[in-house]
Amino acid sequence: MSPSLNHLHVTCAIIERDGLVLAARRSAAMSLPLKWEFPGGKIDPGESPEECLRRELVEEMGIHVSVGKSFPPSTHHYPTFTVTLHPFVCSIQSGEIVLHEHAAVTWLPLEELHTLDWAEADVPVIEYYQRGCRRRRGSG
């Protein structure tokens, strides 16, 4: 299989606050309309994933974040493109969420993340994050 020209490298932020996690709903005009996702965006040439995430969250939501622990990249093949997500656990440093691209956001406890209709690429990220959180809680 040859490398696809439609292979996107995208960052995503698992934003934590007060024991809850932020989920963002894609607008009807976006690809994968009305699916839920972790916010983020495409990595520009020469840009580090951390720089991308900080830039995208200011552009999409007007918030400045502290970028923390990274998770292993996760690749998903959609019918017309492939995406590799580069997830990071983040926290909001400043700003209030103002939606410039998404239709909605919600804050959910870890145990309820699975109740949303997520973009398929985000599902393995959720599963990895949940396993890591359960391990931390078990050892605490």
For the chain, give the percent of residues with pLDDT over 70.
Answer: 94
Q: What is the pTM of this model?
A: 0.91
Average pLDDT of every residue of the chain? 92
Domains belonging to the chain, first-starting first, are 7-139 (3.90.79.10)
| Nearest-angstrom CA–CA distance, 114 and 5 | 31
For the segment 36-47, the average pLDDT, to the nearest whole number, is 97
Q: For residues 104 and 1, which has the higher predicted lDDT (pLDDT)?
A: 104
The pLDDT of residue 2: 43
Q: Which residues of 73-84 are buried (b: 16+ CB within 10 A; e: fewer)?
A: ebebeeeeebbe
For the segment 112-131, the average pLDDT, to the nearest whole number, is 95
